[in-house]
A and B are shown apart, each in its own frame.
Chain A
Amino acid sequence: MQESIKNRKTEWEESVLNKVLQKFPERKETFTTGSDKPVERLYLPQEESKGDYLEKLGFPGEYPYTRGVQPTMYRGRLWTMRQYAGFGTAEESNERYKYLLDQGQTGLSIAFDLPTQIGYDSDDPVSMGEVGKVGVAIDSLKDMEILFSGIPLDKVSTSMTINAPAAILLAMYIAVAEKQGVTRDRIRGTIQNDILKEYIARGTYIFPPAPSMRLINNTFEFCSKEVPKWNTISISGYHIREAGSTAVQEIAFTIADGIEYVRNAMSTGLDVDQFAGRLSFFFNAHNDLFEEAAKYRAARRIWARIMKEKFSARKEKSMMMRFHTQTAGSTLTAQQPDNNVIRVTIQTLAAVLGGTQSLHTNSKDEALALPTEDSVRVALRTQQIVAHESGAANTVDPLAGSYFVEQMTDEIEKEALEYIEKIEKMGGMVRAIEAGYVQKEIQDSAYRYQKAVEKGERIVVGVNKFTVEEEEPRGLLKVDPALRDVQIKKIEEIKDSRDGSKVEAALAALKRGAADESVNLMPLILDAVHAYATLGEITGVLREEFGEYRESIVL
C-alpha cells in the first residue's frame, strides 16, 4: 500500500474511527463471508499509482464522504428499514404501523392521501374519490392522535411525505408528541418539505414559489431552535426519476434544489451551519446496479464540495449528504407481478452498496393497487435478507476501487455538475422551473426511454419480451369508498365540540402573520392546530394570503 494512504489510515483510525467505535460498537466482533473468510472493515488501494485516492475517495465518515457518511457504515448499525405506508382512515393506518413495527421495521413512514397533501379537508368537493386512496386522510389533530395512538413517539422516528402543508403536519406531530408527554426536543423524524420537486415532478404544490420558500425557511428556523433532532427537509430526487429522468438528472436537479434551499435560508440571515446539518436527501434505486451505486457516491462527493466551497460550511455535518432511498415504482410491472420481487432485490442491493441511511422497498403488487400485508412483508424481508444474509453490509463501500464503478462515479459527477452550473447560470432552480427547462429535460428523457421500450431496444421482462397470458392476481387491497362519509362525520363532530372562538382567533392571527414576511408562522400554526382548526381551514387562510401556483405546461 502507498505510504501516504497508510499514514492517513492511521490518522483516520485515531481521530475518527476510534471515537465512533467507543460510542457505537460494531454489530459483531468479527465479520465473515458465507464460507467463513474474514471480512475487513475497509479495503484500500493496493496499487502504487492511486495518486488521487485521498482527494477523491478518502475515508468513510470523512470529507468528501464518497465512501459513506459513517466510518463503520453498516458494521455499526444497519440502515433504517422504513416502509412507506398509510391508507384509509387513521384507525386502519395505525393498525398497519403496529403490524410493521411488530415485523421488525425500525422507523415509520407516513403516506397521506392527496387531499391532505394539497391542503383540502375530506368534505371538500375536490376531494371526491380521493379520500384515503393513496394514503391516510388527516383532517385535524384528532386524526393525528388516532394515527399514533399506542406508538410512543420518543421511541420511533417518523418520516412524513408531506410538502406544501409540511409545517401544519409537523405542528400536528409536535402536538401529539406533547400530549404523550414527549417534549419536542426529543422527537425524531423527517418532513419532506421539498416544494421545488413538486413543481418539477410530483404535483402536490399549493402556493407560488416565494411564500412556499418562506414556509420552508420558517420550519428550518423553528426546528433549529425547538426541534433539534428533526430533519427539516428531504430534498428529493425520487420523483424526478419516477417522472422519467436519467440517473445524472436525478442527482443534478436534486442538488440544484438543495443549493436553492441553502441560498434562500442564508438570505434570511440563518447561518449555514445552523440548519445544514438537518438537511436530508431522498433518492431512487433503479435496476442498473452499478450505475445506481456510482450515482449515490457521486452525489455525496458533489454535495460535500458544494457545501464547503460554495457555502463555506464549517461543520462536518453540514457537508454530509445523508439520504433515504426507495426502490423504483416505475420499474414495477403489472404483468407477471412476482418478477417485481427480483427487481426490488437488485434495487435494494444498489441502495446498500451506495451507502443509504434508510430504505423503503416496494411491494410486488404496487403496479396494480395498494400493497397487501403479505406483499409488504416480502418487501421488508428482502431488506432483511440483504442485511443479514448477503454479506453486502459487512464491509464499507464494497464497490470502491472497481475500475468500472469509479469511472462511472467520476462521469456522473462531471455530467451532473454541468447541469448544476447551467441552472445556476439561469438564475437558480426557481427560474429554471418557471422557464420549464427542468421539466422539459425530464420529459425528453422519459420519451426517449418509452420509445426505446416500444421499439424493443430496451427489454422489460414480461412486458415486451417473455410475455405470458395471465390472470390478474386476486385479493388486491381496496379502499372503501364510504370512507369519505366516515371522515366527513368526524369533521362535523370536531367542529361541534371545539371552542369556535379559539379557532377564529387562531386563524385570524395566522392570517395577520402570513401578511407580514418577517413573522415565523410555525408558532401560529401550532396554536391553530391545538384549537382543532382543520387542515383545510389553516391552508385556506394561507391560500387567501399567498395565492395559488399554476403549472406551466410543457409538452
Chain B
Amino acid sequence: MERKTRIEIAKPGLDGHDRGAKYIARALKDAGYEVIYTGIRQTPESIVATAIQEDVDFVGLSLLSGAHNELFPRVVELLKTEGAEDIIVFGGGVIPEEDIEPLTKKGIQAIFRPGTPISAVIDFIESKKKTTAA
C-alpha cells in the first residue's frame, strides 16, 4: 500500500489564532493526507521534534503575531541541524508581501496568505511530493 503523505501543521510563537491552522489541518485531512496538528504555542524545537518523531514529509507553520521572520527560519535551521532538511517547510498567516522573498531565501518554500484557496495548498504539496519522490 502506498504510504500516505504526512503533514505537520504547527503554530510557533505565542498567538492563539488557530482558526486558519485548524481549517488547513482539517481540509488537508479531508483531502486524504495524514495530518498531525500540534496545537498552539509550540517552540521551533518542539515542532522539529514532532516532525522527526512523526516522520512527516511537510511542516506547515501558521503565525499571525508578526514573529514569522524570527521563528519560521529557526524551524528550517533546526531541521537542518537534525539532518532532516528533506522535510519541506511552508507557512501562512498575516505576512506582509515584502517578507516573502527573504523567507523563501531562508528555505520556507511557500507562503500562503489570507484568502488563498485550499486547492493552492494541495497543488503545492502535490508538486513537491512528485519532486521528492523522483
Name A residues whose Cβ lies closer than 8 Å to a Cβ of B: 114-115, 117-118, 126-130, 133-134, 198, 201-204, 242-244, 330, 333-335, 367-370, 443, 446-447, 450, 454, 460, 463-464, 472, 476, 479, 481, 551, 553, 555
- Listed by A's residue number, 24 A-B pairs whose Cβ atoms lie within 8 Å are A118-B14, A127-B14, A128-B71, A130-B65, A130-B66, A130-B67, A133-B65, A133-B67, A134-B66, A203-B16, A203-B40, A334-B113, A367-B94, A367-B114, A370-B66, A443-B26, A447-B27, A464-B117, A472-B96, A472-B97, A472-B98, A476-B96, A555-B29, A555-B37
Distance in Å: Cβ of B10 to nearest Cβ of chain A: 12
- With a cutoff of 8 Å between Cβ atoms, the chain A residues found around residue B23 in the complex are 446-447, 450
Residue of A nearest to B66 (CB): A133
Give, as a whole number of angstroms, the nearest-CB distance from A479 to chain B: 7
Which residue of B39, B65, B69, B94 contacts A114 across the interface (Cβ within 8 Å)? Answer: B65
Bound: A126/B13 CA distance, A: 8
Complex contact A201–B37 (CB within 8 A): no
Name the A residues within 8 Å of B6 (CB-CB): none
Asked if A369 and B65 sit within 8 Å, CB to CB, the answer is no
Q: A198-B16, A367-B94 are in contact. Are A126 and B43 (CB under 8 A)?
A: yes
Are B115 and A369 in contact, CB atoms less than 8 angstroms apart? no
Q: Which residues of A contact B49 (CB under 8 A)?
A: none
* A134 x B22 contact (CB < 8 A): no
Known: A128-B70, A129-B70. A134 touches B15 (CB 8 A): yes
Residues of A within 8 A of B129 (CB): none
Contact residues of B with A, CB < 8 Å?
Answer: 13-19, 22-23, 25-27, 29, 35, 37, 39-41, 43, 65-71, 94, 96-98, 113-115, 117-119
CB neighbours (8 Å) of B17 from chain A are 203, 242
Complex Cα distance A118/B119, Å? 35
- A interface: dominant SS: loop
A367: chain B residues within 8 A (beta carbon): 94, 114
Q: How far is the CB of A192 from chain B (nearest CB, A)?
A: 13
Contact partners of B41 in chain A: CB under 8 A: 118, 203
| Residue among B16, B26, B35 facing the most chain A CB atoms (10 A cut-off) | B16
Choose from A133, A454, A553 the contact partner of B39 (Cβ within 8 Å): A553
Chain A CB within 10 Å — which of B37, B41, B67 has the most?
Answer: B67
Q: Which 9 A-B pairs give the minimum distances between C-beta atoms?
A: A203-B16, A129-B70, A129-B67, A114-B14, A133-B66, A472-B97, A463-B115, A553-B39, A334-B114
Instruction: Give chain A nearest CB distance to B7 CB in angstroms.
Output: 13
Of chain A, the residue at the smallest CB distance from B41 is A203
Q: In the bound complex, what is the Cα–Cα distance between A479 and B70 (angstroms)?
A: 13
Which of chain A's residues have a CB closer than 8 A to the CB of B115?
Answer: 333-335, 460, 463-464
B71 contacts A129, C-beta separation under 8 Å: yes
B22 & A203 in contact (Cβ 8 Å cutoff): no
State how many angstroms separate the Cβ of B104 from the closest Cβ of chain A.
Answer: 16
Point out the residues of chain B lying under 8 angstroms from A472, CB to CB.
Answer: 96-98
Contacts of B29 in A (CB 8 A): 555
Closest to B63 in A: A129
Query: Which of B14, B22, B69, B113 makes the CB contact (< 8 A) with A446?
Result: B22
On whether the beta carbons of A129 and B16 are closer than 8 Å, the reply is no
Q: How far is the CA of A334 from the CA of B20 in the complex (A)?
A: 15
User: When chains A and B are docked, how far (Å) is the Cα of A476 from the Cα of B71?
Assistant: 21
Q: Which residues of the partner chain B approach A335 to less than 8 Å between Cβ atoms?
A: 115
Question: Are A369 and B94 closer than 8 Å at their CB atoms?
Answer: yes
Q: Which single residue of chain A is at the shortest CB-CB distance from B70?
A: A129
Chain B residues positioned under 8 Å from A460 (CB to CB): 115
B118 touches A129 (CB 8 A): no
What CA separation (Å) do A134 and B14 show in the bound complex?
10
Report how far A450 CA is from B118 CA in the complex, Å.
10
- Residues in B with CB closer than 8 Å to A198 are 16
Looking across the interface, which residue of chain B has its beta carbon closest to that of A474?
B98
Residues of B within 8 Å of A114, CB to CB, are: 13-15, 65
* Interface contacts beyond A129-B69, A454-B117: sample of 9 additional A-B pairs, CB < 8 Å, sorted by A: A118-B41, A333-B115, A367-B94, A369-B66, A446-B22, A447-B23, A464-B115, A481-B69, A555-B37
- The reply to whether B19 and A130 form a contact with Cβ atoms under 8 Å apart is no
Bound-state CA distance A370–B66 (Å) is 9
Residues of A within 8 A of B67 (CB): 128-130, 133
